[in-house]
Structure 1
Amino acid sequence: MDVDMGGMNMGGMNMGGMDMGSSTGMFLATNLHIAKTYWFLIATFVAALGLRRVAVVLAEHLLSRSSHGRTNVRTSRPTGPVSQFVATTTAVLRELSYPQPWHATGKFARNFNPPPLGDCLIIGLYWVVVLCMLWSNVIVSPDSDLYAYKWEIVGYRAAWVSVTQLPFIYLLSCKISPITLICGISAERLNVFHRWAARTIFLTVVVHWSFFFTEWDLAKIVRLEIQYMPMVKYGFGAWAVIGWMILSGCGFFRQQAYEVFVMQHIAAAAVLLWLVWVHVPSYASYNVWMAVAFLGFDWASRMIWAVWINIHIPTRGSKLAAARPIVGYSADAVAVGDDCISLSIRAVDFPWKPGQFICLQVPRLGLGQNHPFSILSVPSRDDESVARLFIKAQSGLTRQLRRRVELHPDHPTRLQVFVSGPWGSPPSLTNHDTIVFVATSTGISFTLPLFRKACSTSTAATRVVHFHWIIRDPSLLQHFQDDLERALLVAASQNLHATVTIHLTRIGYAGHSRIESVDSMGSSSSSDTDSFMDANAPLTRGRIHSEKHDVEVQSQVAGRHGVRISHQIGRPSLDTLLRRPIEKARGETAIIGCGGHAFPSELRNYVSRISDERAVHKGTGAQGIYLHIENYST
C-alpha cells in the first residue's frame, strides 16, 4: 500500500513525530532556530535576575557603609533623583505584582486560586513567547508553495515547541539549579511556574497531535499510523503522563496523601522522560538529556550535602560530637497545646539563616516521608547547636509524630532524625525604617527568628519593629514567651522601638474593655479593645484559664526590666495592624507575613491597596512598602 499525501510516504513509513519525511529540510532549520531562541530568552531572563541580585546586594552594602556611625541617616529613604526614580519604579512594579485577583476559601475551591498578579504577568509573558514560537510563519495561504504541508508545518512546530520546554519544566522542579544559584530564588517560589509551564506544554502537545491526527483522518490512515508507527503510541503515552501529573499535582489531591503524591510524581517524571526519548528523533533527544542533566546535578548536589551534614566523624574533645550519633541527629519532641509539637534537634553542625527551613525524615515513623519545617531558633553563641521546630499535627508524618509524643506526656520523646537543607531565601531586612511581622498559628515559626534577628541587628536604618501573632489557642503563648521577651530586651539594648502583640481570636477577658501595651522602650499606650477588632469577626467572651493564672502571667512579663507583651482580644483587621506604622514610617516599611489559606491573599491585596491610596513615591512623600509572604499551606 502506498499513500502519498503532502510529503508523507506511508509506503516507506517515513513519517515521524518531528520533522521527519520529505519535509525535514524545510522545517528543521527554522524549528532548531526557534528552540535556540527560546533558551536564549530563558538565559537572558535569568541573567537579568542575577544582575538585579548583585545590584541589590551592592546597594545594601553601600547604604550600610554610608550610614555607619551616623544615627540620623535614614538609608531607606531616596536622597536624589536617581534613587527617587528607582523608588518610584519599584513602587509601581510592587503595586502591580502584589494583588491577588481573587481567592476562594472553600476546602476544595481554594486549590484553584490563581497566583498573585505579579506571577500572572510573568506567566502571561511566557505564554506570549510560546505563542509567538508556535504560530509565527506557520499559517500558509492557498497560493503558497507550502500549502500542501499546512497541517504538518504546524504539527512539527508544536512538537519542537513542546519538547524544547521539557528541560525547563525539570529545571524549575530542582532545589539546586542554575536559577536558584544565580538568582537567589528559593525552589519553593519557583513551584508555581513549574506547574504552569507543565500546563503550557500539555496544551502545546495537544496542538502537536491534533494537527497530525486531522491530516491522518483526512487521508483515512489513522489506523495505519497507530498500527505501524510505535512512536505515535509513545507520544500519546507521554501526553497522558503529563496530564496525570497535572491532575495529581492539584493541591486537593496533594493534601490527601502528600507522601504518595511525591513518590508517584517522581516515578511519573522518570516515565515521561523515557517516553519522550523513544518518541522523538535522535536530533531532538538532546532535550531529554538536558532534563536528565538538570535532575542529575540537583540530586547529586543534594545527596552530597545530605551525607555531609548527616554523617558525623567523632572528634576527640568535642562536646557536640559526643552529644550526637554518628548517623543522623538526636531530637527531643514534646506536645504543645492541643495539636502541636515542639521538636529540638540537638548538636546540629550545619549553618542556617533565620527564616530558612529544613526537610525532616523520621525513620521510626516510616521511610519516604520528607517534610519541610521552618527553623524556629536563631543561630547564636548560646543555642547554635540546637535547631528547634514548631510543628502542627495535621496528617501523615506530623500526625504520627503527635501520637508518639502523647504516649509519653511526662518526658520528651527521643527520636533519631535525618535532615536536608537548609533551604529558602529569607528577606534581607537591614535597610528598612519600620518592620511589621504578622503571623497566624504556626506561621510564627517563620516570623519569630526574623523578628529576633531584626531586634539584635544594629543598623541606622531600622527604628521600629512590630510583631503580631494571631492565634486561637492561648496555651501556645508559654512556649514562645521566653523568645519574645529576649527579643524585646535585646531591642531595648539596641535603642530600637519594638513591640509584641498577641491576638487571641476565640477567647477573651471577661470585663476588660481596655488593654495597656508597653513596648521595649518603656512607653505605654492604651486602646479600646473594640476599636482593634474586626467588626465582622465573631468574639466569644470568656476568660483565659482563670483569674489567678492571668495575674501570674502579667506579673511574670512585667518583672523583666519593664518589658511587656500586649494581649488583644478578637481578630484584628489588617488596617488596624498596618496603617499606623506605615503612615508614621520615615523610610521604607517592610511587612513580613506568614499564614495559610486566605491570609496571604488578604495581606497582598491590602498592601497593594494602601500603597496605591498613599501614592507611594509619587510626590506625596509617602515611603515605600516592601512585602514578603510565606504560605505554610500544602
Structure 2
Amino acid sequence: MGLIWLKKPVLWHSSRVPSGYDYDAMTDEQKLLIVTRWHDWYTADWDYGQTTLAFFCAAILASAIINRFAWFRARSAISENGKAGPRFVDKLTAAFRYTGARQFHLRATNWYAPPLAAILGVAGMLVFITGVISSRFHFLMLAVRPFYWPSEEMGHSPPIATRAGWISIAIMPFMIAFATKVNFIGLLTGTSHEKLQVFHRWSALFMWVTSLVHTFPFIINDIMMGEMVSSYKTSPWYWTGVAALVPQTYLIALSWGIFRNPYYEIFKKLHFIASGIFMAALFIHVNFRLTSWDYFWATAAIYAVAWLARVVRTLYITGLGLPATIESAGPALIKLTVRAPARLSWTPGQHVFVRVLGLGVHTLTSHPFTVSSLRASGAAELVLRVHGGLTRALAARVAAAPAGWATRVVLDGPYGGLHVPLAAYERVYLLAGGTGATFTLPLFADLAEKLKAGGIACQRVEFVIAVPDSDTYEWMEPTVTAAAAQLPLAAVGVRVHFTRVEAAKGSDASVDVVHERPVLADIVREAHASASKVAIIACGPDAFLYDVRNAVAEAQLVIADGFGRCKDLFLHTETYRPSYMEKF
C-alpha cells in the first residue's frame, strides 16, 4: 500500500499537457474523442467543475435578485389604479410565494417536508447534477456517452468517474457555505442560516452520491483489466479515496434526524471530527490534479472567514461573559435576562446562541434562543422551554435558587430576523403557538410603538397567541397588555387562546380570551380579506406552521387568479422547536 504523501514537487496545479496515451493503438475516431469537450480528461475541471460552480452561483444570484425585489416591493405602496383585482406583478409575486408557503406532511412518519420552494430547489440541483440534455447542452454526469472508454489506450480513468469527481469537488464549497452561521449566501438572499440547512444536507448527499459514482467505475474498470489487486497495493489514489469515502459515508448516514436529534451534542462533536478526516483525506486524494485544490482554498476561505467573524464579534460584544440572571417564568419555562452593553444590538425577531458559564459540561455547548425583548429595554431577555440538556440543567439551578441564579453568559449573534419592514404593510397578523411568542412578542411591541408614533403605512396589528393555560401566558402578559394599551381599539387586536379548559386568571380587558384552539385557516382568510397589503408572521410547532403555511398558499392562489382585495400577502415563519445542523 502506498505511503501518505503528495506527489513531488507539490504544485498549485498539475500540467494540462496530455501524456500516457498510445495514439498508434487508437482509431482516428478515438483520437478525436479524447480531445473533444466534455470528454477531454485534461479540461474536465473546466467542463464539469466550473459548470457546476456556475450553476450554484446563478441560482444564488437569482435568489438574491428575488430578495431585492421583495425588499423594494415591501417598501412600495400598492396602487389601486382603479382596478378591482391584482395586477400582473401581484399575480406573479403570489405565484412565487405559493411555492414558498406550500408544505406537505407525511402522516405515516409524522414528517413535515420543507416548503415547496426548497423542494424545487433541491430537485433542480438533482436534475442539473445528474444530467441536462437540450438542443444546445449535453453535459454532466449521466448525459454524456460513453461512460467507459472503448479502448484501454484511451486512459484508465472512466469518463463517468472523471466527471463525477469534478462535480463532487465543485459542490464542496457551497455545501460548507450553506452550513455556516455567519452565512454569506444568507446575506445575499435574505435567508437566515437555519433555513439554508436543508440545502447543506442535500448538497452533502449529492456530493456523496457523485463520490460513489466516481469510485465504483474505477473498481469495475480495474477488475475488467485484471489490475485491481496491484492497483490497490501500489496506487495511493485507492486507499486515500477509501479514507475519504468512509468518513463521508458516516457523515451522511448519521446526519439523518433519527440518529442526529436524540444525541445532538455528541453528534455535533463527532461530525466535526469526521469532517476533518474527510477533508484531509480528500485533499491528499486529489493531489493538486488540474485545479482541484482551488476548491479547497475556496472552501477554507469561506469557513475561516465565517468562523473568524463569529469569534471576533463574540469577543468584542461579550468578552469573557456578560452578567445574567436566570429565573422561573412559569410551568416548564425559565427566563434568562442578560445585561446588554451598548455594543450589543439586535432587531425584533432575531436570535442568539447562548453559552452559559459555570454550568459544568453544558458550558461546552451553545444553543439558539430568540431575544424576546426590545433593545431599548437595556436587557436581552430570552424565555426557554425546559426540555433536556442545557435547559434541564438551568431549571435545576433555578429550582435550587428561587430568587434567581446569577451567572455569566457568552452570546454569539444576533442572527435571523425579518428582511422586510412590517410597518410598510397595512395589516400585520402575528400568530404565536406556545413559546413561539418569544419571536412574535418583540415584533408586536415594536409595531405598537411605531403605530403610536405614527407616520407608517401600518394601520392595524393583530396578535393571536395560543398557549396551554394562563400560567404559560403569565410571563408575556405584562408586555402584551402594555403594548396594546398604547393604541386605540381600531389599531390593535389581541386574542389569547387557552387550549386547555380552565378559568382565565386576571386577563386585561383589552385582550380577548378564547378557550379553544385557534382555527388558523380562518385567521389567514380573515387576514387575506382585511387589506390590500398584509403581512403574516407565524412562530410555533410544526403542526401550527403547517396549517398557517397551507392556508396562506391557498390565499396566494386566489391572488394569482386575480381575485380578492389583497394584492400583496407576505408570509414569514419560524419554528421554536430545536433545530439541528445549525451550529457550524
Quickly name the TM-score band, shorter chain normalised. Answer: 0.7 to 0.9
For the residue of structure 1 that corresponds to 2:429, the secondary structure is strand
Structure 1 Cα separation of the partners of residues 18 and 487 of structure 2: 70
Residues 41/419 of structure 1: CA separation in 2 closer, same or farther (3 Å cut): same
Q: Does 1:88 align with 2:96?
A: no
Partner of 2:158: helix, strand, or coil? helix
1:593 to 530, 538, 559: 538
Structure-1-length-normalised TM-score: 0.78
Match of 2:105 in 1: 102
Q: Quote the residue 1:488 is aligned against.
A: 484
CA offset digits 1:310-365 (Å, max 9, x no partner):
12xxxxxxxxxxxxxxx311111111222110111013331100000000001211
Between the aligned partners of 1:177 and 1:485, the Cα distance in structure 2 is 37
Q: Is the 8 A contact 1:502 1:565 kept in 2?
A: yes
For residue 618 of structure 1, give the secondary structure of its aligned residue in structure 2: coil
1:610 — aligned with what? Answer: 555
Question: CA separation in 1, counterparts of 2:328 and 2:235?
Answer: 61
Over aligned residue pairs, what C-alpha RMSD do you find? 2.8
Report the alpha carbon displacement of residue 630 of structure 1 after superposing the two structures with TM: 0.5
Q: Partners in 1 of 2:436 and 2:571 — Cα distance?
A: 15
Contact 1:177 1:294 in 2 (8 A): no
Aligned to 2:518: 572
Whether the 8 Å contact between 2:439 and 2:539 is mirrored in structure 1 is: yes
Query: Partner of 1:344 in structure 2?
Result: 337
2:147 and 2:159 in contact (8 A); partners too:
no
Cα deviations by residue, 1:50-102 (Å, 9 ceiling, x for unpaired): 344444444445x3xxxxxxxxxxx2455499992221101111123321132
Residue 398 of structure 1 aligns to a residue in which SS? helix
1:60, 1:624 → 2: CA distance? Answer: 9
The answer for the alignment partner of 2:457 in structure 1 is 461
Distance of 2:67 and 2:518 partners within structure 1: 35
Q: Distance in 1 between matches of 2:338 and 2:212?
A: 49
Going from structure 1 to structure 2, the CA distance change for 1:375 and 1:152 (only over 3 Å counts) comes to: same
CA gap 1:217/1:469 in 2 versus in 1, 3 angstroms: same
Tell me which stretches of 4 or more aligned residues in structure 1 moved more than 6 Å. 18-21, 80-83, 141-147
Residue 194 in 1 paired to residue 200 in 2? yes
1:164 shift after superposition = 1.1
Match of 1:161 in 2: 167
Tell me: CA distance 1:117–1:347, structure 2 relative to 1, closer, same or farther (3 Å): closer
Is 1:43 the equivalent of 2:57? Answer: yes
**Aligned residue identity for 1:206:** L
Give 2:315's aligned residue: 307
CA shift for structure 1 position 399: 0.9
Aligned pairs for 1:439-450 within 5 A: 439-450=432-443
1:5: which partner in 2?
A: none
Is 1:27 aligned with 2:33? no
What CA distance in whole angstroms lies between the structure 2 residues aligned with 1:221 and 1:633? 53
Looking at structure 2, the residues matched to 334 and 19 of structure 1 have their Cα atoms a distance apart, in angstroms, of: 70
Partner of 1:67: none
Which of 466, 469, 475 aligns to 1:470? It is 466
- Secondary structure of the residue aligned to 2:571 is strand
Q: Say yes or no: does 1:295 pair with 2:303.
A: yes
Gaps (5+ residues) in structure 2? 1-13, 22-33, 132-138, 579-584
The AA in structure 1 aligned to 2:20 is S
Total equivalences in the alignment: 531
Question: Residues 602 and 264 (structure 1 numbering): CA distance in 2 closer, same or farther, change over 3 Å?
Answer: same
Q: 1:609 to 1:150 in 2, by over 3 A?
A: farther
CA shift in 2, pair 1:27/1:177, >3 Å: same
- Contact 1:76 / 1:432 at 8 angstroms: preserved in 2? no
431-440 vs 42-51, which deviates more? 42-51
Residue by residue over 1:476-497, the C-alpha shift from the partner in whole angstroms, topping out at 9 and shown as x without a partner, is 22211111012212333xx862
- Could you tell me whether the CA contact under 8 Å between 1:77 and 1:587 is conserved in 2? no
**Structure 1 stretches lacking a partner, 5+ long:** 1-15, 64-74, 312-326, 509-542, 545-549, 559-563
- 8 Å contact 1:455–1:496 — kept in the other structure? no
Question: For residues 365 and 431 of structure 2, what CA distance do their matches in structure 1 show?
Answer: 30
CA-to-aligned-CA distance 1:93-122 (integer Å, 9 cap, x gap): 112332113244x8xx34x54321110111
Contact 1:277/1:285, CA 8 A, preserved across alignment: yes
Other-structure match for 1:124: 123
Q: Deviations over 1:28-53 (max 9, x none)?
A: 21432321222223333333333444
What amino acid sits opposite 2:170 in the alignment? T
Aligned to 1:566, what secondary structure does the other structure show? strand
2-side partners of 1:587 and 1:220: how far apart?
A: 72
Shift of 1:602: 2.4
1:172 matched to which residue of 2? 178
Q: TM-score, normalised by structure 2?
A: 0.84
CA distance in 1, matches of 2:123, 2:172: 18
- C-alpha distance after superposition, 1:107-148 (max 9, x if no partner): xx34x5432111011111112221235336631399978996
SS in 2 for 1:506: coil
Give the alignment partner of residue 246 of structure 2, picking from 240, 255, 258.
240
- Counterpart of 1:575, as a letter, is A
Partner of 1:423: 415
Is the partner of 2:382 in helix, strand or coil? strand
1:504 aligns with 2:498: yes
Contact 1:333 1:412 in 2 (8 A): yes
2:377 is the alignment partner of 1:363: no
1:580-609 superposed Cα distances (whole Å, 9 cap, x missing partner): 2322x2212211111123222222122112
Q: Percent identity?
A: 24
Q: State the partner residue of 1:376.
A: 372
**What residue identity is the alignment partner of 1:253?**
F
Give the counterpart of 2:325 among 326, 332, 348.
332
